[in-house]
Amino acid sequence: MLKGIINYSHYLMKEAVQEGDTVIDATCGNGHDTVFLSRLVGTEGHVFGFDIQAEAIANTRKLLTHIGLTNTTLINDSHSNFLHHMPVDKLTRLGGAIFNLGYLPGSDKSVITRSETTILAIEGIVSHLKQNGIIVLVVYHGHEGGDKEREELMRYVRLLDQHQYHVLYYGFINQKNDPPFILAIQKRH
Ligand code: SAM
């Protein structure tokens, strides 16, 4: 059975990330990926979650507290500033990062991820990933501004050196209404 997009994004993270790793949720939103990542890395690991909207950080914090997960640091700032917020000892065990691009469901549709900051964050994160570490991007692109981010992101990932990174595209090409797809970047060495 083919996995759906969210399911497959989690599967990819599960395959690459180990217990005790540090991971990044680059777009917390309502916190569903943050919860998934927190469980994945376990009590010895740590999740750094970013969102530019205070509302998203508050929603995520509420969910984590409700479930009782404590191995997480939430940061109300752009993912492109991740280096300012992560201690060096945590960065040395960076197993992966997940991005859900687009806008916060049920909120202001004009606050969207943008290619400039998304690509800056990816560039920084790949350079710190450990061997076989992975960045998974779930690319929602049906909203206003989504086309531009998709095109610029595709141009960027196509040019990543194949000797250093595997770049995967996964999506359902017969679905209507701009279905989301996955881009995954795995560091080879
Ligand atoms: N993964 C989330 C979930 O499980 O609910 C959904 C994320 S939503 C599609 C995208 C989020 O990215 C929004 O909450 C938005 O505020 C956030 N965002 C936009 N630009 C950002 C940036 N530069 N840095 C961090 N977060 C950003």
Distance CA 64, CA 45 (A): 15
Distance CA 177, CA 185 (A): 25
Please tell me the residue having the least CA distance from ligand 1 atom 14: 29
Residue ranges in 68-145 assigned as alpha helix (H): 82-85, 88-91, 115-128
Side-chain half-sphere CA neighbours of 95 within 13 A: 20
Write the DSSP symbol of residue 81. Answer: G
CB 93 within 8 A of CB 20: yes
Distance CA 161, CA 59 (A): 38
Which tokens sit at 170?
């996964």
Domains of the chain in sequence order = 5-187 (3.40.50.150)
Query: In ligand 1, which atom is closest to the CA atom of 98?
Result: 1
Model confidence pLDDT, tens digit, residues 38-83: 999 999 999 999 999 999 999 999 999 999 999 999 999 999 999 9
Query: In ligand 1, which atom is closest to the CA atom of 26?
Result: 25
CB of 51 sitting under 6 A from ligand 1: yes
Q: Is the ipTM of this complex over 0.90?
A: yes
CB of 45 sitting under 6 A from ligand 1: no
Distance CA 62, CA 30 (A): 9
**What is the best residue among 112, 113, 125 to mutate for testing ligand 1's pocket, by most ligand atoms within 8 Å of CB?**
113
Q: Phi/psi of residue 33, each to 5°?
A: -70, -30
In the prediction, which pLDDT does 61 show? 98
Confidence of residue 189 (pLDDT cuts 50, 70, 90): confident
110 to 144, 146, 181: CA distances (angstroms): 8, 11, 21
